[in-house]
Chains A and B, each alone.
Chain A
């Protein structure tokens, strides 16, 4: 009988564990790698495996960098002295529909786009101090040097990739004009 009780308790534990796991679904991503001093807007230190939540600001200090994995498989890599805010993250893992708006306030962030962008490229938006950026199935870097100057570089995939991948495409806008970047290695700058 004791044994039966133990089984029941084990069952309850498993169910509770699953419920607890469901509750943590509020997080939108995790810190995959944290090198050096990485913290959030509450000055809490972020380490490997720390959860990222809607509205979080992630700050990397000098000689620090981090990689953030989001639920939709978007992956952001922060360079040193970088501040990034997640303004919006809505994602339905079944339909892959959603919306991802991030704000690179300063520093360097590399983006590898995920399911939200794959489903609808217009739903991935990157705000930079002097403009906005849209991306289509690609990997790119945003460098916000100051409040009035930002540079974006398209990294790939290139048109000559041997993997049958659709070449990347960036659309950078300063609110008035926009420019398309379609060739990897090419960059564009937006200033106020």
Chain B
């Protein structure tokens, strides 16, 4: 009887142990909930979770042990090694500083920290490059694509003549331009305050009715960005080469420097100097194309005022000089731009208006031998851009990572000139989508 009772007791004890999961695989989370402060149990649990790849529980456990046993540096070193693997730079930095400032940290521990950090440094070195690809599609509707004058007249050798339509396919008013584009951007973070960007893009423009003007445009740019105190400086060079159908081709090479000076939270000043050289390509069809060659010197200074965190007002003064091979196409441009932008629930609204006054150097004999051209232009635009999800909530299903951007833009251009040939009014409406593909995995 005693033997039977003993067996029964054994079974009960076995059942008790079984219900408390002593014989389960490793240490359970329930055991940790029951014994959150047990050093040995929790340390073994942290190692167990690390080996099974559950690093979040490893960190939580080691952080708890570190709170409970603050003088145990082995726990801290174990935690530090995990944080480095997790690429948690902020926490690594904080923890290293805390440990190095701790007088209890031995020289041996400091050496161990240095070894762990040298591994981090190698990893950061590998992660300096980044890249992304933008794929875009846009459609622009224009009400006067051929630039027909307001008076429907032209000035030729001092005489006003009616605007005659030689070929209705060449001279049209309303038309649409479709643009399919792609742009690859590759960048490198040189250090905490500077980076380098390279951009290569291709846009293909197709015009609906007008037979002239279809083009594909190859462009590239290289820019450097540096933070020096409150200055955000960016020198850059760029090159673009449009290839037009039935029109002259040209290529432009430019360079410039842009700086934004942060005065305070509300105010910043942005200014830029630029130079661009445009060379036209002479062909058998366009044997005088080179006469259009020009150099442009551009500059502006803009004051931005952050009215609130969501509203910005901008005032920009513009001064440009265009030197053309044809003297009558050389001119000075002076102007002002006012802008208002506001972040709204459905995107960023921007309203902008530019007034420019162009004073040309010489008369154009073929047009008039006495009148030197003077233009005044007023270009106003209203645009809205943002994440596609902001205007189409159901798009979240196809745009989970917010990588599709939309843009809507309406622009009105009104040029008043003392030469009627340039007295032109135009309206543009553009709708576009851009898909950004992260290519960081390539590096």
Contact = CB atoms under 8 A, between A and B. Distances in A.
Contact of A69 (B2, B60, B124, B309): B60
Interface string B44-59: 0000000001011101
Interface in B72-89: 83, 85-89
Contacts of B91: 155-156
Contacts of B309: 191
Contact of A7 (B9, B15, B16): B9
A108 B309 CA distance: 24
A7 B11 CA distance: 11
B29 interface: yes
A35 B67 contact: yes
A143 interface: no
Contacts of A3: 2, 5
Interface stretch (A26-34, A80-88, A94-102, A126-134): A26-34
Interface stretch (B30-38, B166-174, B260-268): B30-38
Contacts of B56: 73, 75, 112-114, 139
B5 A163 contact: no
Interface in A44-81: 48-49, 65, 67, 69, 71, 73, 75, 77
B89 A49 contact: no
Best-surrounded residue of A11, A113, A180 (most CB of chain B within 10 A): A11
B67 A49 contact: no
Interface residues of A, number: 44
Contacts of A7: 5, 8-9, 12
A149 B12 CA distance: 58
B437 interface: no
A164 to B, nearest CB: 8
A67 B19 contact: no
Contacts of B344: 177
Indicate the member of B63, B85, B86 with the most A CB atoms within 10 Å: B86
A162 B88 CA distance: 11
Contacts of B53: 163-164
Nearest to B6: A3
Given A177-B345, A184-B89, A160 B8 contact: no
Interface string A94-124: 0000000000000000001110000000000
Contacts of B440: 159
Given A69-B33, A160-B87, A163-B53, A33 B68 contact: yes
B106 interface: no
A73 B29 contact: yes
Interface string B156-186: 0000000000000000000000000000000
Nearest to A186: B90
A75 B402 contact: no
Interface string B282-319: 00000000000000000000000000010000000000
A18 B59 CA distance: 31
Contacts of A177: 343-345
A23 interface: no
A29 B36 CA distance: 11
Contacts of A11: 12
Given A30-B33, A191-B309, A158 B86 contact: yes
B55 A4 contact: no
Contacts of A184: 87-90
Nearest to A4: B5
Given A11-B12, A75-B60, A157 B37 contact: no
Interface string B120-142: 00011011000000000000000
B143 to A, nearest CB: 34
B64 interface: yes
A73 B59 CA distance: 12
A161 B86 contact: yes
Contacts of A75: 56-57, 60, 64
17 contacts: A3-B5, A7-B12, A10-B9, A18-B19, A31-B36, A33-B36, A33-B68, A48-B68, A49-B36, A49-B37, A67-B64, A69-B60, A77-B63, A158-B86, A159-B87, A160-B124, A164-B53
Interface of A: 3-4, 7, 10-11, 14, 18, 29-33, 35, 48-49, 65, 67, 69, 71, 73, 75, 77, 112-114, 139, 153, 155-165, 176-177, 180, 184-185, 191
A-B interface, 7 closest residue pairs, ranked by CB to CB distance from nearest: A158-B87, A156-B88, A32-B36, A75-B60, A161-B87, A185-B90, A160-B87
Given A112-B56, A161-B85, A177-B343, 16 more contacts: A30-B36, A31-B36, A32-B64, A33-B64, A48-B36, A48-B37, A73-B56, A75-B57, A77-B63, A113-B56, A155-B91, A158-B88, A158-B89, A161-B87, A177-B345, A185-B89
